Amino acid sequence: MQKRRQSTAVRGPNGRIAFFLPRHWIMLDEVRARSRRHRFLNVSTGELLTLTPEGLLLLLHEATLVVRLLNPLTHQFTDFPRLTELLQARGYESARSLQVYGAGLVADASTVAVCFSCPMVLAVAKPGGKSWTVINDDYMNSVLPFAGRFYCATYRGVMVVNITSDQQPPMLLMVAELSESFYFSKMAHSFHLVDNGGELMLVHRCLDSNYKRKYDVYRVDLEAGLLMPVKSFNGCAVFMGMSRTISVSAGAFPSITADII
């Protein structure tokens, strides 16, 4: 039996094994005002892909407390400031108890927003920056990156992280405030933001008059600044978790019943 020839794996200039990198794809050179998205063309099939920030992974290097953003497609890292100062300011000596509630990119994907549940802060940072900027330290019922922005739901309503320039501090802006007749119990109720096929929706998990669990659903009308009651999810099913809620098309998965939670 002939002995199998052994050789070292071929690696690219960045040290990564070329076998695992995407083949036949090129990035189109497009110049678009205030856009950080790029389209990729498959030169063999002609297929086009548009990358969005939702596919990126947020990582923590525990030894240095450096936050990193990983693009799984290109294997490229982007480093953000250390969490050392943010944790020490709130009495944390290490990241052992650190918990993240949600994260997303804002300001044309130039800034990352992270909602920590331990410590309880919403903070933003830029690549290569020196520190994290805390926007809010109140409890968030739900957070969701949606259409290039970062939305938060609290007992007051639905808000969005707003970053205009380096001269103005980042802040939360109200986009749909709860009406005076809207009853929300901080102890017994919860809000859940969900991207329902490109439409921002809010699920209100509450109790009825018999103390049984019920769910009210609203469409977040960003133009009118209102929560509009709806009776369905447009053929989708919604799965709710403690920190994330997702919508799945029943048409794509026949085993799922449409318009249920």
Q: Note the residue count of the chain.
A: 261
Question: In the prediction, which pLDDT does 144 show?
Answer: 95
Paired tokens of 179: 């009406």
Domain ranges for the chain, please list them.
53-177, 179-261
Q: Which of 38-42, 53-57, 230-234, 240-244 has the highest mean pLDDT?
A: 230-234
Q: Encode pLDDT of 9-19 as tens digits.
A: 444 444 455 55
> Is the CB of residue 23 less than 8 Å from the CB of residue 42?
no
Can you give the three-state secondary structure of 134-184, one letter per residue?
EEECCCCCEEEEECCEEEEEECCEEEEEECCCCCCCCEEEEEEECCCCCCC
Average pLDDT over the chain reads 85
Question: In the prediction, which pLDDT does 34 show?
Answer: 43
Q: Encode pLDDT of 55-114 as tens digits.
A: 788 899 888 999 999 888 778 889 999 999 999 998 887 888 889 999 998 877 789 999
Decide if pLDDT at 261 tops 90.
Answer: yes
Q: Encode pLDDT of 164-180 as tens digits.
A: 877 788 999 999 999 98
Which residues on neighbouring strands pair with residue 194, listed in sequence order?
201
Question: In the prediction, which pLDDT does 80 show?
Answer: 94
Decide if pLDDT at 41 tops 60.
Answer: yes
Top-confidence residue, 121 or 51: 121
Decide if pLDDT at 133 tops 60.
Answer: yes
- Residues 142 and 150: their CA atoms lie apart, in Å, by 11
Quick one: pLDDT band at residue 191, thresholds 50, 70, 90? very high
> Is the CB of residue 68 less than 8 Å from the CB of residue 23?
no
Compute the C-alpha angle 190/193/198, nearest 5°: 160
- Residues 240 and 213: their CA atoms lie apart, in Å, by 14
Residue whose entry in the numeric block shows the structure tokens 């259409």 = 147
Question: In the prediction, which pLDDT does 38 show?
Answer: 64
Decide if pLDDT at 22 tops 80.
Answer: no
Question: In the prediction, which pLDDT does 168 show?
Answer: 85
Question: In the prediction, which pLDDT does 138 show?
Answer: 92
Question: In the prediction, which pLDDT does 14 show?
Answer: 47
Which residues on neighbouring strands pair with residue 113, listed in sequence order?
104, 124
Paired tokens of 21: 């990198």
Question: In the prediction, which pLDDT does 9 show?
Answer: 45
Tell me the CA distances in angstroms from 27 to 31, 47, 75, one per residue in order. Answer: 12, 12, 15
Decide if pLDDT at 36 tops 60.
Answer: no
Question: In the prediction, which pLDDT does 45 show?
Answer: 83
DSSP state of 53: G
Decide if pLDDT at 142 tops 90.
Answer: yes
Question: In the prediction, which pLDDT does 6 show?
Answer: 45
